[in-house]
C-alpha cells in the first residue's frame, strides 16, 4: 500500500488487510534490527520448532516469535523469567494485527559488555592490519608434523586426534597443553603459542576447543591471544566452538575452521584421497610407459624393414640404374622423333606460306593504274570545287560593294555604324572607301523615312 495515496486522497477507504500490510511495511522500513532487553514470559515451544513468548519489563510487554531456523543455533535453553537481550526486527503480524518482534538471535542479559569489548578489540586489530587477509599465510599441503594447542582433557582434542588418525595415521602430532577456559587461560594459551613458535617443531598449529557460551569462549577473545597468534611464525588454524561461534582468534588466525574436526581436516591430507591419487597417477604412468614401449617397438620394426644387406642394396641400385638408362634412351629417342616431326611440319607450313611473285606483280600493276585514275579524278573534282568557291568568295567581297560608291562608317572605337540611332551630334567618324579613308564629324542626324 503506497502511503502517498492516503495523503493525496484522505477519503480513500482501506480494507483491514491493506491497513495491516501498510503498517507492517512502515514498521519494518522505519526500525532497523535492534537489541531489546526484557524478561521472558509465557514461553511456548511448538512442534514446528518455533518459539512464541512475551518480552516484558516493569511497565510494558511485547509479543515475540523466534523461528526454528533461528533458535536452533542457540547453545542454551531460555526459560520463563530469564532476563535476555534479543536482536529483532520490529514488525506486525498481519493476520491478527498484532505488534511483535521477529527475533533473530538471543543472549543472556549482561553479555552486552562482552560484545562491546569484542567489537572494540576487533576494530583495534583491524586498524593495525592483523585481520588483513593479505598477511595470512597458506596452510602446507603436506605438513611433516602438526601441533595442537588445547587442553589435554578437552573433548575437542579427542575429535582432532581421531580425525588425524583417520585421514593420515602416519602424521606426527605434538600437543602443547594449556587451559582453554577460566582465570588466566588467555595468558597460558598465548604462552603455549609462543612455545610452539620457539621450538619450531611443526609446520602448522591447530588452536581448538569445543563449543560453549560466550563466557566459556572468552579466553579466545583476549588481546594477548590475538597478538600471540599474529606473532607466531607457524601458520595457525583456529577451530574454536561450533560453526556459529566467532572469536577474535578466528579472525586473526591464518585459517578459520567451523569446528575442531574441520580444523583437523584442513591441516591433514586424506590418506584415502592420496592413495586414490597415487593409484590414478600409477595407472597413467603404466599407460604412458606402455604407449612409449609400443611406439618404440613399432619404430624398431620400421627400422628393421629398412635395414638390408649391402649386396641387396647394390643389386637393387643396379636394377634401378638399368631402368633409368632404358628410360633415358627412350626419352632421347622420343625427343628426336618429336623434333623431326616438328621440323617437317614447319617445312610444310613454310611451303604453304611462300608467296606467288607473278600474281603479286600483276596485282601491283592493276592497283597502280587504279590509283593514278583515282588521283586524277580527285584533282579534277577539287579544282572545280575551288573555282566555284573562288567565284562565290569574289561575289561576297565587300571591296566590290565599295567600288560601286558605298563606304563603311566606323565609330571611334571601331564599331560599324548601321543606324543613325548609334550616333551622337559632334561624334567623330571614320569613313572607308574603295580606295582610301576619311575622317568626319556628325553635324546633324535624322530618322529614316
Q: Which pLDDT belongs to residue 2? A: 61
- Taking only the tens place, the pLDDT of each residue in 373-407 is 898 999 999 999 998 888 888 777 777 777 777 78
Strands 408-410, 83-93: pairing is unpaired
Strand order in the sheet with 408-410: 408-410, 428-432, 437-441
Q: Is the distance from CB of 200 to CB of 170 less than 8 angstroms? A: no
CATH topology of domain 137-269: Rossmann fold (3.40.50)
And the C-alpha cell for 204? 602448522
Residues of the chain with pLDDT under 50: none
Q: Which pLDDT belongs to residue 193? A: 94
Q: Which pLDDT belongs to residue 54? A: 93
Q: Is the distance from CB of 151 to CB of 209 less than 8 angstroms? A: yes
Sign for the CA dihedral angle at 10, 15, 20, 22 comes to: negative
- Taking only the tens place, the pLDDT of each residue in 355-367 is 777 788 888 888 9
How many residues are there in the chain? 449
**Nearest-5° Cα angle at 252, 251 to 254:** 100
Could you tell me the CATH superfamily of domain 3-110?
A: Nucleic acid-binding proteins (2.40.50.140)
Q: Is the distance from CB of 243 to CB of 209 less than 8 angstroms? A: no
Q: Is the distance from CB of 103 to CB of 219 less than 8 angstroms? A: no
65 CB neighbour count, 10 Å cutoff = 17
**CB-based contacts of 210, cutoff 8 Å, min separation 6:** 154, 155, 156, 241, 260
As a whole number of angstroms, the distance between CA 229 and CA 251 comes to 10
Amino acid at each position: 500500500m503506497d502511503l502517498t495515496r492516503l495523503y493525496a486522497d484522505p477519503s480513500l477507504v482501506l480494507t483491514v488487510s491493506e491497513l495491516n500490510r501498510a503498517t507492517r511495511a512502515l514498521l519494518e522500513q522505519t526500525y532497523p534490527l535492534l537489541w531489546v532487553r526484557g524478561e521472558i514470559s509465557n514461553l511456548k515451544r511448538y512442534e514446528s520448532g518455533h518459539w512464541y513468548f512475551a518480552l516484558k519489563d516493569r511497565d510494558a510487554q511485547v509479543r515475540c516469535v523466534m523461528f526454528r531456523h533461528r533458535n536452533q543455533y542457540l547453545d542454551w535453553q531460555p526459560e520463563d523469567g530469564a532476563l535476555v537481550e534479543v536482536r529483532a526486527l520490529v514488525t506486525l503480524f498481519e493476520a491478527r494485527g498484532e505488534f511483535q518482534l521477529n527475533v533473530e538471535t538471543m543472549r543472556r542479559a549482561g553479555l552486552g559488555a562482552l560484545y562491546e569489548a569484542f567489537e572494540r578489540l576487533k576494530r583495534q586489530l583491524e586498524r593495525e592490519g592483523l585481520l588483513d587477509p593479505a598477511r595470512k599465510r597458506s596452510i602446507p599441503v603436506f605438513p611433516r608434523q602438526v601441533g595442537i594447542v588445547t587442553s589435554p582433557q578437552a573433548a575437542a582434542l579427542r575429535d582432532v586426534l581421531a580425525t588425524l588418525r583417520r585421514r593420515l595415521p602416519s602424521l606426527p602430532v605434538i600437543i602443547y597443553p594449556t587451559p582453554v577456559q577460566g582465570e588466566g587461560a588467555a595468558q597460558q594459551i598465548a604462552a603455549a603459542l609462543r612455545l610452539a613458535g620457539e621450538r619450531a617443531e611443526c609446520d602448522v598449529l591447530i588452536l581448538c576447543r569445543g563449543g560453549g557460551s560466550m563466557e566459556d569462549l572468552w579466553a579466545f577473545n583476549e588481546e594477548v591471544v590475538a597478538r600471540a597468534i599474529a606473532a607466531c611464525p607457524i601458520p595457525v588454524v583456529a577451530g574454536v566452538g561450533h560453526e556459529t561461534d566467532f572469536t577474535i582468534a578466528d579472525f586473526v588466525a591464518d585459517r578459520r575452521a567451523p569446528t575442531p574436526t574441520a580444523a583437523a581436516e584442513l591441516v591433514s591430507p586424506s590418506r584415502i584421497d592420496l592413495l586414490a591419487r597415487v593409484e590414478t597417477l600409477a595407472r597413467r604412468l603404466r599407460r604412458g610407459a606402455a604407449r612409449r614401449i609400443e611406439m618404440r617397438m613399432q619404430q624398431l620394426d620400421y627400422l628393421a624393414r629398412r635395414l638390408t644387406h649391402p649386396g641387396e642394396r647394390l643389386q637393387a641400385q643396379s636394377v634401378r640404374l638399368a631402368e633409368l638408362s632404358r628410360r633415358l634412351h627412350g626419352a632421347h629417342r622420343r625427343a628426336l622423333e618429336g623434333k623431326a616431326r616438328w621440323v617437317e611440319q614447319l617445312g610444310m607450313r613454310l611451303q604453304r606460306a611462300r608467296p606467288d611473285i607473278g600474281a603479286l606483280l600483276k596485282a601491283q600493276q592493276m592497283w597502280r593504274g587504279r590509283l593514278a585514275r583515282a588521283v586524277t579524278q580527285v584533282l579534277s573534282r577539287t579544282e572545280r570545287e575551288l573555282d566555284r568557291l573562288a567565284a562565290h568568295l569574289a561575289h561576297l567581297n565587300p571591296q566590290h560593294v565599295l567600288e560601286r560608291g558605298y563606304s563603311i562608317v566606323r565609330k571611334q572605337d571601331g564599331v560599324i555604324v548601321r543606324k543613325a540611332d548609334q550616333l551622337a551630334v559632334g561624334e567623330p567618324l571614320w569613313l572607308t572607301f574603295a580606295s582610301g579613308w576619311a575622317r568626319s564629324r556628325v553635324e546633324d542626324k535624322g530618322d529614316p523615312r
